[in-house]
């Protein structure tokens, strides 16, 4: 998989890290012999109203409107919601909140019945993309890892590389343009032909030299 490909992939280590995250869920119906999922359960069954933590890889296999669990919005998105409303997300240290802030939210969005998570991750990135562009141009030597999540970190690296290539192009320090092989071969043939004509003009035994001498 490409290093810049952040889209979920079965063989992606990053995707495995994201789907291992535990998500708080509320039990909606009695689940027989599922009490082992709740460390505080006093019976073998899961009773309605109980709250348990399930891994994301299990939740995403359930139907969005399943009758068994209701997925709760994680606190990390609730904490960002106020900053999103105030358009002050650039100061948030997403890397400390969650290293896969956008990817984790993307997985949870279909299960968010209030449609909060989708708006939060969209507005957060929309507000931070300009700031991300600025630090990619200016902070080329150091990267604020604790402020960026995984996707933002990759975008920062790509921005630094692109900016470096652009500066090198402006300064012509990376100019490696070459003529095509066909043009180069044509120039060689023309030079060889010119050399042969010059050598023939200087040889008295050549027909052209004899013709000029008789004249």
pLDDT at 212: 46
Decide if 146 contacts 95 (C-beta within 8 A): yes
Flag whether pLDDT at 57 surpasses 80.
yes
User: Measured on CA atoms in the order 176, 177, 182, 185, is the torsion positive or negative?
Assistant: negative
What are phi and psi for residue 8, nearest 5 degrees?
A: -50, 135
In a domain, 115, yes or no: yes
What are phi and psi for residue 169, nearest 5 degrees?
A: -70, -40
pLDDT tens digit sequence for 151-188: 898 888 888 888 888 888 888 765 566 667 788 888 88
Note whether 56 and 17 are same-domain residues: yes
Model pTM score: 0.68
In a domain, 201, yes or no: no
Flag whether pLDDT at 76 surpasses 50.
yes
Note whether 82 and 36 are same-domain residues: no
> C-alpha angle with apex 184: 181 to 188, nearest 5 degrees?
135
Residue linked to tokens 């896969």: 100
Structurally, the chain folds into a number of domains equal to 2
Note whether 83 and 136 are same-domain residues: yes
Contacts within 8 Å (CB) and 24+ apart, 154-157:
154/3, 154/4, 154/6, 156/132
Domain end (from 40, 72, 104): 72
Collapsing DSSP states into helix, strand and coil, what is residue 24? strand
Flag whether pLDDT at 201 surpasses 70.
no
What radius of gyration do the chain's Cα atoms show?
33
């Amino acid at each position: 998989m490409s290093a810049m490909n952040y889209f979920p992939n079965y063989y992606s280590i990053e995707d495995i890290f994201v789907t291992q995250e535990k998500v708080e869920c509320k039990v909606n119906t009695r689940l027989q012999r599922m009490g082992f999922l709740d460390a505080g359960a006093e019976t073998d069954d899961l009773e309605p109203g109980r709250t348990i933590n399930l891994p994301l890889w299990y939740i995403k296999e359930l139907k969005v409107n399943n009758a068994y669990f209701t997925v709760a919005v994680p606190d990390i998105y609730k904490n960002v919601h106020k900053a999103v409303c105030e358009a002050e997300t650039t100061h948030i240290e997403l890397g400390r909140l969650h290293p896969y802030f956008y990817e984790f939210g993307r997985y949870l969005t279909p299960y968010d019945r209030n449609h909060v998570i989708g708006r939060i991750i969209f507005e957060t990135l929309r507000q931070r993309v300009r700031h991300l562009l600025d630090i990619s141009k200016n902070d080329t030597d150091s990267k604020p890892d604790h402020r960026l999540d995984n996707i933002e970190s990759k975008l920062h690296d790509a921005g630094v590389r692109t900016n470096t290539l652009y500066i090198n192009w402006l300064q012509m320090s990376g100019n490696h343009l070459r003529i095509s092989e066909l043009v180069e071969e044509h120039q060689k043939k023309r030079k060889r032909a010119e050399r042969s004509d010059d050598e023939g003009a200087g040889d008295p035994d050549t027909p052209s030299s004899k013709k000029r001498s008789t004249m």
